[in-house]
A and B are shown apart, each in its own frame.
Chain A
C-alpha cells in the first residue's frame, strides 16, 4: 500500500478499519470543541465491519477503511442533515449526496456530521448548534470540519467551500484544504448556498491525503447539470514546481497580519526554488464585492424553499398562510441568514438589479479576463487568507469579520478556480498564518503539487 503521509501516522500502528473507527469514535465522544452535530455510531460501525470484509476479499486503496466527517450541508440518506440551522434540525433527507455515495463505495467510514455556519450563509457564530471552539486556542472560533481534522478526531473531512471560509478556517487551524475547480465534484445532495461558486473541498493534515480524498469524490455526475464531463481525476503531486513563476498579489497587503502571511508564504516558495513576483491587479480587490452580491442573491433564493410548508421547521402557531411563512422562517432561520436574504432581495429588486447584480456579473467577467491573462504568465498565485487571527469568541457575531476576510478568499470562489489553503508559518502565539495558492481552471493538480512542494 502506498504511504499516505499523515494518514499513516494517524493510524498509529493499527491496521484495521474497525480499530480506526473506534479510535475516531472515542475521540469524537471526547470532543469538547463542538466539532460535530451528529455522531452515527451504528452507521459507521456497520460500515467499518463491511469494509473489513471487503478488504479481506482483496479490496484496497490508499484511504480505504479510514474514518472521516462530512460537513452538515452534505446530506446523508436518512440521517439528520441540518446545515447548522434550526430550520432543518429535524430534516432527514430520503437521498444522500453523490460525494458520500462515492466514499461509501471507496470504503471510507463516515463518523458523523461537522458543525458549520448556518446554511453556509452565516459565519463562525451562527450555527444553531453553537459555535466551534478553535482547536489551537479555546478563546477563538473555527469551522467544525477543519477543527475535527486539526484535533485529530478524524484524518479526513469534506466541507463545502462556499465563499472561501472553509479554506480560511482550515489554514488557520493548521490543516490543509484542497478546493477543486468548479464542476469537478458533484453538488448533488449538498444544501446549496452560492450555487455558481461552491464546491465540496477536502481537508486533511497534508496535501497528499486531501488530494487523494478529492480524487475519490471528483468526476462527472449526470445528476448535476454543472458537472464537468471528465469522468475521473488523479492529481500528480510529483510534477515540477521549482522554476515556475508565482505571482504574489500586492492587492492583499493591507495590514500587518496579511503582510506577515505573505512573507511566510514567499519564504516557503523561495525554499522550494520558486521566485515569486509581486503583481498589482486592477480588479482583485473588488472580487469580494461581486461575490457578496452574487452570494446574497443565490443564497437568498436557495433558502426560500425553506418555508415551513413541506418539511423542516414549522412555527407551532399561525393563523393563516402569511403567518405560517413569516413565523416559520423568522423562528427557523438565524440572524445572519436573514441578513443575507434581505441583501439578496435588495440586489435582485427591479430598481437595483442593474446597479448591483448586473454589475457583479460584469465584474466577475472582467476579473475572469484579467486572471486569464495573468495565468498565461504566472501559473500560480499566492495570497493571504485573513486579515487577522481566528475570531475570538463572539467577535464575528453578525458576520462582520467573515465578511472582512471574504476579501482574501473571493477569487477562487467567484471564478471557480482550484485552490489549496495551508498554514505558511506561525505567529508569536503559535497560531498558523494562513495562505493559499490558486491557479487557472483545470490546473488543480499543478496547484496541489505546488503546495506539496512547499512541504504541505
Chain B
C-alpha cells in the first residue's frame, strides 16, 4: 500500500520589537526572571492593552513578504484558558479578522519547485514560562515572555514530505529575517513550529485523522518528529488501530511523540472579541509605507548576484540566504569593486571556517572593510593568496587589523623597485632567445618572460609594473 503524508504548519515567530505588544515593557532574550514585567503583563486588574504600532507594521511586513492580502480592518480576540504562565488567564490573539490572509511561499526541493499556500497570519501575545523544580517540589513562573509579540503563520495543508517542510521553514526564516520582522532562531525559541499531520492512502481525496505535534525546537527535531509520527500513523492504519485527533508533544530525548494531557486537548477556548482594543484600520498608504521600507528580499538578491555580478548560482544562493552574510558580501564587494572575489573568499573560506568553528552563519561577524582590504592586497600582489588565507582566518577569528597583521607577520609581498629591476634584468639576460624573438616582432615572447618573472616572484610585485619594466628592458637600445 502506498501512503501519502499531508501536513500543514503553524509557525510562531517572535516579532523583532523593542517592547511588548500591549505594554511598554522591554523585550529581551535571556533577561533575569520577572525583570521585564509591569502590572499589565503580570495580569493585574485595571490595566488596559495599548497596541504597539510597530507590531502591526511588522505583521504587515510578514504578510507582504509571503504574498498575503493585508486586511483593511483587523481586530483582536480573547482566547480563554487557565494556566499559571498566562497571567491574565486569557491570551489576546486574532480569530475573527486576522491581519493577513491568502498568501504563498515558493520553495525549492530535490523534487523541483513548489508553492506552499499561507492561510493566514495573525498577531498575538506570548505567554510566560513555567519552571518546575522537582527537587523542591515547586513551580515558579517567569512572566518576562508574557505579552511578547508574535505572529502565527498558518499554512495550508500543502506539505507532502519532511523535505518540503524544512525547505519552507528555511525560506520563511530567511524572509522574516531579511524583512526585519523576526530574529527567527529555533535555539532561542524566537521561532517555533507546530506540525499538523495526517496520513492517507495515495489517491484518497479525504484526509486521514490529524494529529498536531508541538514542542520541536530545531529543524532536525522537526524532521525526526515527522518521520516518527508518519510511521506511527501508518502502523495504526495497517493494524486497524484507531487514531485520535489530538495534540502530541515531541520528546527529543526519547525520540518519540506523546499525547498531551487532556486539558490541552479540551478544544474550547471561549473566543470572543476584545472590547478593550478598538479595531485597527490599515490604509493602502500605510501598507505602501511598509512595503517601501522593506529591504531587498533573498530571491531578488540571488537573482541580482547572478545576473549583475556574475556570481555562480550556487554561491549566490548561499550568500543570499542570511541577512548578515548578504550584508557582509554586498558591502565588501562594493568596497573592493570585485564581487566575484568577495564571493569566492566568503563561500570558500568564510563558510568553511564557520563550519569548522561551529558558528551559525547568522553569527558570522566579518568586517567588510577588512575583507575588501584583503581582496585588494591579493589583487595588487602585495599579498599572496596563501598569505591572504592566513589573514582571512585571523580576521575571522580575532577581527585583527589587516595592515598591522601583515606587518607583524611579514606577509607583505611587495618588492622594492630596485630589487625588481635587478631581478627582471637578470631574467632578460638569461633568455637571449626570447629577447631576440621579441625584438624580431614576436610579442608573445614577452608573455614567456613575464611568466618566468611571476614564478620567481611567487606572486609578489604588481603585474602591470612588471610588464612595463620588461617592455622597457626589451626595447632595443
Contacts and interface: CB of A to CB of B under 8 A. Distances in A.
Contact of B39 (A93, A192, A309): A93
B88 A196 contact: no
Given A95-B39, A310-B42, A348-B80, A301 B48 contact: no
Interface string A266-299: 0000000000000000000000000000000110
Contacts of A309: 84, 141
A222 B278 CA distance: 13
Interface in B237-289: 267-268, 270-272, 275-278
A94 B38 CA distance: 10
Interface in A393-452: none
B43 A310 contact: yes
A305 B87 contact: yes
Nearest to A308: B84
B401 to A, nearest CB: 49
A226 interface: yes
A301 B78 contact: yes
Nearest to B141: A309
B84 A301 contact: no
Contact of A310 (B48, B87, B139): B87
Nearest to A88: B45
Specify which of B45, B89, B141, B278 lies most central, judged by the most chain A CB atoms within 10 Å of its CB.
B45
Q: Give 5 nearest A-B pairs by CB, closest first.
A: A196-B275, A304-B89, A348-B270, A195-B275, A191-B45
30 contacts: A83-B45, A93-B46, A94-B39, A187-B46, A188-B47, A191-B46, A195-B276, A196-B275, A222-B50, A225-B278, A226-B48, A298-B275, A301-B78, A301-B80, A304-B80, A304-B89, A305-B43, A305-B45, A305-B87, A305-B90, A306-B45, A307-B89, A310-B43, A321-B139, A325-B82, A348-B270, A348-B271, A349-B270, A353-B271, A357-B272
A311 interface: yes
Contact of B90 (A75, A304, A357): A304
B219 to A, nearest CB: 33
A27 B45 CA distance: 31
A354 to B, nearest CB: 12
B46 A188 contact: yes
B278 A304 contact: no
A32 B39 CA distance: 36
A309 B82 CA distance: 11
A222 B49 CA distance: 10
Interface in B55-103: 78, 80, 82, 84, 87-90
Contacts of A188: 46-48
A311 B45 CA distance: 10
A226 B274 CA distance: 11
B234 to A, nearest CB: 32
B138 to A, nearest CB: 12
Contacts of B87: 305, 310
Contacts of B271: 348, 353
A363 to B, nearest CB: 15
Contact of A225 (B43, B51, B268): B51
A226 B43 contact: no
Contact of A97 (B42, B46, B268, B270): B46
Contact of B46 (A192, A225, A357): A192
A43 interface: no
Contacts of B48: 187-188, 223-226
Interface in A92-145: 93-95, 97
Interface of B: 39, 42-51, 78, 80, 82, 84, 87-90, 139, 141, 267-268, 270-272, 275-278
A75 B46 contact: yes
A222 B48 CA distance: 10
B24 to A, nearest CB: 10
A148 interface: no
Contacts of A226: 48, 275-278
Nearest to B46: A189
Contacts of A80: none
Contacts of A44: none
Nearest to B50: A225
B272 A192 contact: no
Nearest to B23: A223
A407 B240 CA distance: 59
Secondary structure call for the B interface: loop
Interface residues of A, number: 40
A353 B87 CA distance: 25
A174 B80 CA distance: 41
A112 to B, nearest CB: 18
Contacts of B43: 305, 310
A159 to B, nearest CB: 15
Contacts of B277: 225-226
A441 B87 CA distance: 35
Contacts of A75: 45-46
A349 B272 contact: no
A393 B42 CA distance: 39
A361 B78 CA distance: 16
B96 to A, nearest CB: 11
Contact of B268 (A304, A307, A349): A349
Which of B50, B268, B270, B276 has the largest count of A CB atoms less than 10 A from its CB? B270
Given A225-B277, A310-B42, A321 B84 contact: yes
B85 to A, nearest CB: 9
A195 B47 CA distance: 11
B26 to A, nearest CB: 18
A305 B88 contact: yes
Contact of A93 (B44, B82, B90, B267): B44
Nearest to B83: A321
A350 interface: yes
A94 B78 CA distance: 25
A325 B275 CA distance: 25
Contacts of A302: 45
A355 to B, nearest CB: 14
Contacts of B90: 301, 304-305
A190 B276 CA distance: 13
Contacts of B272: 297, 301, 348, 353, 357
A345 interface: yes
A183 to B, nearest CB: 9
Contacts of A190: 46
Interface in A180-225: 187-192, 195-196, 222-225
Nearest to B76: A225
B103 to A, nearest CB: 28
Given A192-B45, A310-B87, A348-B271, 6 more contacts: A81-B46, A223-B48, A301-B78, A301-B90, A305-B43, A357-B272
Contact of B50 (A191, A223, A297): A223
A304 B46 contact: no
Nearest to A326: B82
Contacts of A301: 78, 80, 90, 270, 272
A226 B142 CA distance: 29
Interface string A80-92: 0101000010000
B270 A305 contact: no
Nearest to B130: A321
Nearest to A357: B272
Contacts of B139: 321
A14 B39 CA distance: 41
Contacts of B78: 301
Contacts of A222: 50
Nearest to B42: A310
A307 B275 contact: no
A368 to B, nearest CB: 15
A345 B278 contact: no
A311 B42 CA distance: 10
Contacts of B80: 301, 304, 348
B344 to A, nearest CB: 54
Given A196-B275, A225-B278, A307 B50 contact: no
A304 B51 CA distance: 22
Nearest to B263: A322
A349 B271 CA distance: 8
